[in-house]
Protein backbone atom coordinates (compact mmCIF):
# COMPACT_ATOMS: atom_id res chain seq x y z
CA UNK A 1 0.00 0.00 0.00
CA UNK A 2 2.97 2.30 0.56
CA UNK A 3 3.84 2.73 -3.11
CA UNK A 4 0.33 3.65 -4.30
CA UNK A 5 0.03 6.18 -1.45
CA UNK A 6 3.32 7.77 -2.42
CA UNK A 7 2.26 7.89 -6.08
CA UNK A 8 -1.01 9.58 -5.15
CA UNK A 9 0.85 12.08 -2.98
CA UNK A 10 3.25 12.97 -5.81
CA UNK A 11 0.35 13.32 -8.26
CA UNK A 12 -1.49 15.68 -5.91
CA UNK A 13 1.68 17.72 -5.45
CA UNK A 14 2.09 18.03 -9.22
CA UNK A 15 -1.52 19.14 -9.67
CA UNK A 16 -1.13 21.74 -6.92
CA UNK A 17 2.12 22.98 -8.46
CA UNK A 18 0.53 23.35 -11.90
CA UNK A 19 -2.50 25.12 -10.41
CA UNK A 20 -0.28 27.50 -8.42
CA UNK A 21 1.84 28.30 -11.48
CA UNK A 22 -1.27 28.91 -13.60
CA UNK A 23 -2.76 31.25 -11.01
CA UNK A 24 0.54 33.10 -10.67
CA UNK A 25 0.65 33.71 -14.42
CA UNK A 26 -3.00 34.85 -14.41
CA UNK A 27 -2.45 37.22 -11.50
CA UNK A 28 0.70 38.57 -13.15
CA UNK A 29 -1.18 39.10 -16.42
CA UNK A 30 -4.12 40.74 -14.69
CA UNK A 31 -1.78 43.15 -12.95
CA UNK A 32 -0.39 44.42 -16.27
CA UNK A 33 -2.49 47.47 -17.15
CA UNK A 34 -3.94 47.55 -20.64
CA UNK A 35 -2.39 50.14 -22.89
CA UNK A 36 -4.95 52.61 -24.19
CA UNK A 37 -5.19 53.64 -27.85
CA UNK A 38 -7.53 56.40 -29.04
CA UNK A 39 -9.15 56.38 -32.48
CA UNK A 40 -10.46 59.60 -34.02
CA UNK A 41 -12.42 59.65 -37.29
CA UNK A 42 -15.02 62.18 -38.35
CA UNK A 43 -18.68 61.23 -37.87
CA UNK A 44 -17.63 58.17 -35.89
CA UNK A 45 -21.14 56.70 -35.61
CA UNK A 46 -21.71 56.56 -39.38
CA UNK A 47 -22.51 53.09 -40.72
CA UNK A 48 -19.82 53.48 -43.39
CA UNK A 49 -17.27 52.78 -40.63
CA UNK A 50 -18.88 49.50 -39.50
CA UNK A 51 -16.30 47.14 -41.00
CA UNK A 52 -13.44 49.47 -40.03
CA UNK A 53 -14.59 49.56 -36.40
CA UNK A 54 -14.96 45.78 -36.34
CA UNK A 55 -11.37 45.45 -37.46
CA UNK A 56 -10.20 47.89 -34.80
CA UNK A 57 -12.08 46.07 -32.03
CA UNK A 58 -11.04 42.57 -33.09
CA UNK A 59 -7.38 43.57 -33.19
CA UNK A 60 -7.64 45.35 -29.82
CA UNK A 61 -9.05 42.18 -28.26
CA UNK A 62 -6.35 40.03 -29.85
CA UNK A 63 -3.60 42.37 -28.62
CA UNK A 64 -5.01 43.16 -25.15
CA UNK A 65 -5.40 46.88 -25.88
CA UNK A 66 -8.03 49.20 -24.45
CA UNK A 67 -9.57 50.94 -27.46
CA UNK A 68 -11.25 54.34 -27.19
CA UNK A 69 -13.25 55.39 -30.26
CA UNK A 70 -13.90 59.08 -29.76
CA UNK A 71 -17.41 60.37 -30.42
CA UNK A 72 -17.31 62.87 -33.30
CA UNK A 73 -19.65 64.64 -35.72
CA UNK A 74 -19.30 65.46 -39.41
CA UNK A 75 -16.85 68.11 -40.47
CA UNK A 76 -14.20 67.45 -37.84
CA UNK A 77 -11.59 70.24 -37.99
CA UNK A 78 -7.99 70.31 -36.69
CA UNK A 79 -8.82 72.28 -33.54
CA UNK A 80 -11.60 69.85 -32.60
CA UNK A 81 -9.27 66.94 -33.26
CA UNK A 82 -6.64 68.60 -31.06
CA UNK A 83 -9.13 68.96 -28.19
CA UNK A 84 -10.02 65.28 -28.43
CA UNK A 85 -6.35 64.29 -28.47
CA UNK A 86 -5.58 66.48 -25.46
CA UNK A 87 -8.50 64.97 -23.57
CA UNK A 88 -7.30 61.44 -24.28
CA UNK A 89 -3.71 62.40 -23.50
CA UNK A 90 -4.83 63.58 -20.06
CA UNK A 91 -6.43 60.16 -19.53
CA UNK A 92 -3.18 58.33 -20.19
CA UNK A 93 -3.55 57.27 -23.80
CA UNK A 94 -0.52 55.47 -25.23
CA UNK A 95 -1.09 56.18 -28.93
CA UNK A 96 -3.43 57.62 -31.55
CA UNK A 97 -4.97 56.24 -34.74
CA UNK A 98 -6.38 59.15 -36.72
CA UNK A 99 -8.21 60.28 -39.77
CA UNK A 100 -6.29 63.53 -40.10
CA UNK A 101 -8.77 66.41 -39.95
CA UNK A 102 -9.07 68.68 -42.98
CA UNK A 103 -8.00 72.28 -42.48
CA UNK A 104 -5.00 74.50 -41.95
CA UNK A 105 -2.64 73.89 -39.07
CA UNK A 106 -3.34 70.17 -38.79
CA UNK A 107 0.28 69.09 -39.22
CA UNK A 108 1.52 71.55 -36.60
CA UNK A 109 -1.07 70.24 -34.16
CA UNK A 110 0.03 66.63 -34.64
CA UNK A 111 3.66 67.64 -34.18
CA UNK A 112 2.81 68.97 -30.71
CA UNK A 113 1.99 65.49 -29.35
CA UNK A 114 4.58 63.03 -28.07
CA UNK A 115 2.51 59.84 -28.33
CA UNK A 116 2.90 57.70 -31.48
CA UNK A 117 0.45 58.66 -34.24
CA UNK A 118 -0.76 56.42 -37.05
CA UNK A 119 -2.88 57.84 -39.86
CA UNK A 120 -5.71 56.13 -41.73
CA UNK A 121 -7.45 57.07 -45.00
CA UNK A 122 -5.14 59.88 -46.16
CA UNK A 123 -1.99 61.77 -45.20
CA UNK A 124 -2.42 65.52 -45.55
CA UNK A 125 0.76 67.45 -46.25
CA UNK A 126 0.46 70.72 -44.41
CA UNK A 127 3.84 72.46 -43.98
CA UNK A 128 5.87 73.01 -41.93
CA UNK A 129 6.37 69.27 -41.52
CA UNK A 130 8.50 68.28 -38.56
CA UNK A 131 7.97 64.63 -39.39
CA UNK A 132 5.96 62.31 -41.60
CA UNK A 133 3.40 60.08 -39.93
CA UNK A 134 2.91 56.49 -41.10
CA UNK A 135 -0.22 55.80 -43.13
CA UNK A 136 -2.27 52.61 -43.42
CA UNK A 137 -4.87 53.15 -46.14
CA UNK A 138 -5.96 52.20 -49.63
CA UNK A 139 -4.19 54.07 -52.42
CA UNK A 140 -6.73 56.72 -53.41
CA UNK A 141 -5.39 57.19 -56.94
CA UNK A 142 -5.64 53.45 -57.49
CA UNK A 143 -9.22 53.50 -56.21
CA UNK A 144 -9.97 56.09 -58.88
CA UNK A 145 -8.15 54.08 -61.52
CA UNK A 146 -10.13 50.97 -60.61
CA UNK A 147 -13.37 52.91 -60.87
CA UNK A 148 -12.31 54.13 -64.30
CA UNK A 149 -11.56 50.56 -65.35
CA UNK A 150 -15.07 49.51 -64.26
CA UNK A 151 -16.59 52.23 -66.43
CA UNK A 152 -14.40 51.37 -69.42
CA UNK A 153 -15.28 47.69 -69.02
CA UNK A 154 -18.97 48.61 -68.89
CA UNK A 155 -18.64 50.11 -72.37
CA UNK A 156 -16.57 47.23 -73.75
CA UNK A 157 -13.36 49.20 -73.63
CA UNK A 158 -14.58 52.02 -75.86
CA UNK A 159 -15.33 55.46 -74.45
CA UNK A 160 -14.72 57.59 -77.55
CA UNK A 161 -17.12 60.51 -77.48
CA UNK A 162 -18.62 59.54 -74.13
CA UNK A 163 -18.87 62.08 -71.32
CA UNK A 164 -18.75 61.20 -67.65
CA UNK A 165 -20.03 63.24 -64.72
CA UNK A 166 -18.27 63.09 -61.36
CA UNK A 167 -19.88 63.37 -57.92
CA UNK A 168 -17.78 63.58 -54.76
CA UNK A 169 -17.73 64.79 -51.16
CA UNK A 170 -16.88 68.43 -50.55
CA UNK A 171 -15.60 67.57 -47.07
CA UNK A 172 -12.56 65.54 -48.21
CA UNK A 173 -10.90 67.58 -50.96
CA UNK A 174 -7.51 65.87 -51.00
CA UNK A 175 -8.92 62.34 -51.04
CA UNK A 176 -11.39 63.30 -53.76
CA UNK A 177 -8.66 64.99 -55.80
CA UNK A 178 -6.49 61.88 -55.64
CA UNK A 179 -9.36 59.61 -56.66
CA UNK A 180 -10.42 61.87 -59.50
CA UNK A 181 -6.85 62.03 -60.77
CA UNK A 182 -6.71 58.25 -61.10
CA UNK A 183 -10.19 58.14 -62.63
CA UNK A 184 -9.44 60.82 -65.21
CA UNK A 185 -6.21 59.13 -66.30
CA UNK A 186 -8.03 55.89 -67.16
CA UNK A 187 -11.05 57.56 -68.78
CA UNK A 188 -8.95 59.77 -71.05
CA UNK A 189 -6.76 56.86 -72.08
CA UNK A 190 -9.93 55.08 -73.26
CA UNK A 191 -11.17 58.17 -75.13
CA UNK A 192 -13.64 59.41 -72.53
CA UNK A 193 -13.97 62.85 -70.99
CA UNK A 194 -15.08 64.25 -67.63
CA UNK A 195 -17.88 66.69 -68.44
CA UNK A 196 -18.55 68.09 -64.98
CA UNK A 197 -17.75 67.60 -61.29
CA UNK A 198 -20.26 68.21 -58.51
CA UNK A 199 -19.39 68.40 -54.81
CA UNK A 200 -21.82 67.01 -52.28
CA UNK A 201 -22.31 69.06 -49.11
CA UNK A 202 -23.31 67.07 -46.04
CA UNK A 203 -26.32 69.24 -45.26
CA UNK A 204 -27.80 69.53 -48.76
CA UNK A 205 -27.06 66.33 -50.66
CA UNK A 206 -26.39 66.17 -54.38
CA UNK A 207 -29.47 64.75 -56.15
CA UNK A 208 -30.97 68.13 -57.07
CA UNK A 209 -27.69 69.32 -58.56
CA UNK A 210 -27.33 66.14 -60.62
CA UNK A 211 -30.93 66.43 -61.77
CA UNK A 212 -30.09 69.81 -63.28
CA UNK A 213 -27.24 68.29 -65.31
CA UNK A 214 -27.53 66.03 -68.32
CA UNK A 215 -25.57 64.89 -71.33
CA UNK A 216 -23.42 62.23 -69.67
CA UNK A 217 -23.34 58.49 -70.31
CA UNK A 218 -22.10 57.60 -66.85
CA UNK A 219 -21.75 59.13 -63.40
CA UNK A 220 -18.65 58.28 -61.38
CA UNK A 221 -19.17 58.70 -57.63
CA UNK A 222 -16.10 58.98 -55.42
CA UNK A 223 -17.35 58.45 -51.84
CA UNK A 224 -19.74 56.25 -49.89
CA UNK A 225 -22.43 58.73 -48.86
CA UNK A 226 -22.66 60.30 -52.31
CA UNK A 227 -22.88 56.83 -53.85
CA UNK A 228 -25.72 55.84 -51.52
CA UNK A 229 -27.63 58.96 -52.56
CA UNK A 230 -26.92 58.51 -56.26
CA UNK A 231 -27.94 54.84 -56.09
CA UNK A 232 -31.33 55.94 -54.74
CA UNK A 233 -31.62 58.52 -57.53
CA UNK A 234 -30.74 55.91 -60.16
CA UNK A 235 -33.29 53.47 -58.73
CA UNK A 236 -35.89 56.24 -59.09
CA UNK A 237 -34.79 56.83 -62.72
CA UNK A 238 -33.76 60.36 -61.78
CA UNK A 239 -30.31 60.59 -63.42
CA UNK A 240 -31.27 61.27 -67.07
CA UNK A 241 -30.50 57.70 -68.08
CA UNK A 242 -26.87 57.82 -66.95
CA UNK A 243 -25.29 54.67 -65.53
CA UNK A 244 -23.91 55.04 -62.00
CA UNK A 245 -20.56 53.60 -60.89
CA UNK A 246 -18.92 54.37 -57.58
CA UNK A 247 -16.51 53.96 -54.71
CA UNK A 248 -18.29 52.91 -51.53
CA UNK A 249 -17.72 51.06 -48.28
CA UNK A 250 -21.17 50.38 -46.82
CA UNK A 251 -23.47 47.38 -47.04
CA UNK A 252 -26.04 49.63 -48.75
CA UNK A 253 -23.67 50.19 -51.67
CA UNK A 254 -23.23 46.42 -51.96
CA UNK A 255 -26.99 45.90 -52.12
CA UNK A 256 -27.20 48.69 -54.69
CA UNK A 257 -24.88 46.66 -56.90
CA UNK A 258 -26.97 43.55 -56.32
CA UNK A 259 -30.23 45.26 -57.30
CA UNK A 260 -28.54 47.03 -60.24
CA UNK A 261 -29.10 50.58 -59.01
CA UNK A 262 -25.40 50.94 -59.74
CA UNK A 263 -23.45 49.16 -62.46
CA UNK A 264 -20.09 48.92 -60.73
CA UNK A 265 -18.64 49.15 -57.23
CA UNK A 266 -15.08 49.70 -56.05
CA UNK A 267 -14.29 49.37 -52.37
CA UNK A 268 -11.41 48.77 -49.98
CA UNK A 269 -11.08 46.28 -47.15
CA UNK A 270 -11.64 48.70 -44.26
CA UNK A 271 -11.83 45.83 -41.76
CA UNK A 272 -8.27 44.96 -42.71
CA UNK A 273 -7.24 48.60 -42.37
CA UNK A 274 -8.63 48.77 -38.84
CA UNK A 275 -7.14 45.42 -37.85
CA UNK A 276 -3.71 46.20 -39.26
CA UNK A 277 -3.65 49.64 -37.66
CA UNK A 278 -4.32 48.42 -34.12
CA UNK A 279 -1.93 45.48 -34.57
CA UNK A 280 0.85 47.78 -35.76
CA UNK A 281 0.27 50.15 -32.84
CA UNK A 282 0.29 47.24 -30.37
CA UNK A 283 3.57 45.95 -31.79
CA UNK A 284 5.09 49.42 -31.59
CA UNK A 285 4.01 49.88 -27.98
CA UNK A 286 5.53 46.48 -27.18
CA UNK A 287 8.92 47.61 -28.42
CA UNK A 288 8.91 46.97 -32.17
CA UNK A 289 9.76 50.49 -33.33
CA UNK A 290 9.60 49.54 -37.01
CA UNK A 291 5.99 48.36 -36.73
CA UNK A 292 4.55 51.79 -37.56
CA UNK A 293 5.11 52.10 -41.29
CA UNK A 294 3.13 52.77 -44.45
CA UNK A 295 0.89 49.91 -45.57
CA UNK A 296 -1.47 49.75 -48.53
CA UNK A 297 -4.93 48.19 -48.16
CA UNK A 298 -6.45 45.86 -50.75
CA UNK A 299 -8.85 47.34 -53.30
CA UNK A 300 -11.84 45.18 -54.23
CA UNK A 301 -14.21 45.43 -57.18
CA UNK A 302 -16.77 42.61 -56.94
CA UNK A 303 -18.95 41.65 -59.88
CA UNK A 304 -22.67 41.33 -59.30
CA UNK A 305 -22.76 37.64 -60.22
CA UNK A 306 -20.04 36.76 -57.69
CA UNK A 307 -21.04 39.18 -54.97
CA UNK A 308 -22.32 36.57 -52.53
CA UNK A 309 -19.92 33.82 -53.53
CA UNK A 310 -17.49 32.19 -51.12
CA UNK A 311 -14.80 34.55 -52.44
CA UNK A 312 -16.42 37.54 -50.73
CA UNK A 313 -18.17 35.93 -47.74
CA UNK A 314 -15.65 37.08 -45.15
CA UNK A 315 -15.43 40.55 -46.64
CA UNK A 316 -19.21 41.02 -46.65
CA UNK A 317 -19.53 39.67 -43.11
CA UNK A 318 -17.36 42.52 -41.82
CA UNK A 319 -19.72 45.09 -43.38
CA UNK A 320 -22.81 43.86 -41.55
CA UNK A 321 -23.75 45.54 -38.29
Query: What pLDDT was estimated at residue 1?
Result: 44
**Range of weakest confidence among 170-174, 231-235, 315-319:** 315-319
Question: Mind listing the pLDDT tens digit for each residue in 244-292?
Answer: 999 999 999 999 999 999 999 999 999 999 999 999 999 999 999 899 9
Q: Do domains 35-133+270-298 and 140-268 have the same CATH topology?
A: yes
Question: Mind listing the pLDDT tens digit for each residue in 204-227?
Answer: 788 889 988 889 999 999 999 999
3-state secondary structure of 135: strand
| Mean per-residue pLDDT, 110-124 | 92
Is CATH 3.40.1800.10 the right assignment for the domain spanning 35-133+270-298? no
Cα 258 to the center of its chain, rounded Å? 22
Cα angle vertex 198, ends 194, 200, to 5°? Answer: 145
Residues in the chain: 321
Q: Domain boundaries in the chain?
A: 35-133+270-298, 140-268
Query: What pLDDT was estimated at residue 223?
Result: 95
The answer, yes or no, to whether residue 148 has pLDDT greater than 90, is yes
Question: What b/e string do you get for 32-63 counting C-beta neighbours within 10 Å, with b at 16 or more?
Answer: eeebbbbbbbbbbebbbbbbbbbbbbbbbeeb
| Mean per-residue pLDDT, 26-49 | 77
Is CATH 3.40.50.2300 the right assignment for the domain spanning 140-268? yes
| Mean per-residue pLDDT, 87-95 | 96
The answer, yes or no, to whether residue 91 has pLDDT greater than 50, is yes
Taking the C-alpha atoms of residue 220 and residue 180, their distance in angstroms, rounded to an integer, is 9
Query: What pLDDT was estimated at residue 305?
Result: 87
Query: What pLDDT was estimated at residue 129?
Result: 61
The answer, yes or no, to whether residue 238 has pLDDT greater than 50, is yes
Model confidence at 141, in pLDDT bands (50, 70, 90)?
very high
Question: 117, 141, 147: which is closest to 129 by C-alpha?
Answer: 117
Query: What pLDDT was estimated at residue 16?
Result: 54
Amino acid sequence: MEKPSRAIFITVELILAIFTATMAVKISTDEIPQRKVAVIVEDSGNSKWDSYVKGLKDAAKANNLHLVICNTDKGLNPEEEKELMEEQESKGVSGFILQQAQGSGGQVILDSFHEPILLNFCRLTDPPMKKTYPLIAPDNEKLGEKLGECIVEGYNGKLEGRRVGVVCAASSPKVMMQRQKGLQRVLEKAGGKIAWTLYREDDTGISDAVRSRSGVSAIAVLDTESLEEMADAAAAHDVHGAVVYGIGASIKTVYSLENESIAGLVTADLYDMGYRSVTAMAQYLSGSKKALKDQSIEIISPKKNELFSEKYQTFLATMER
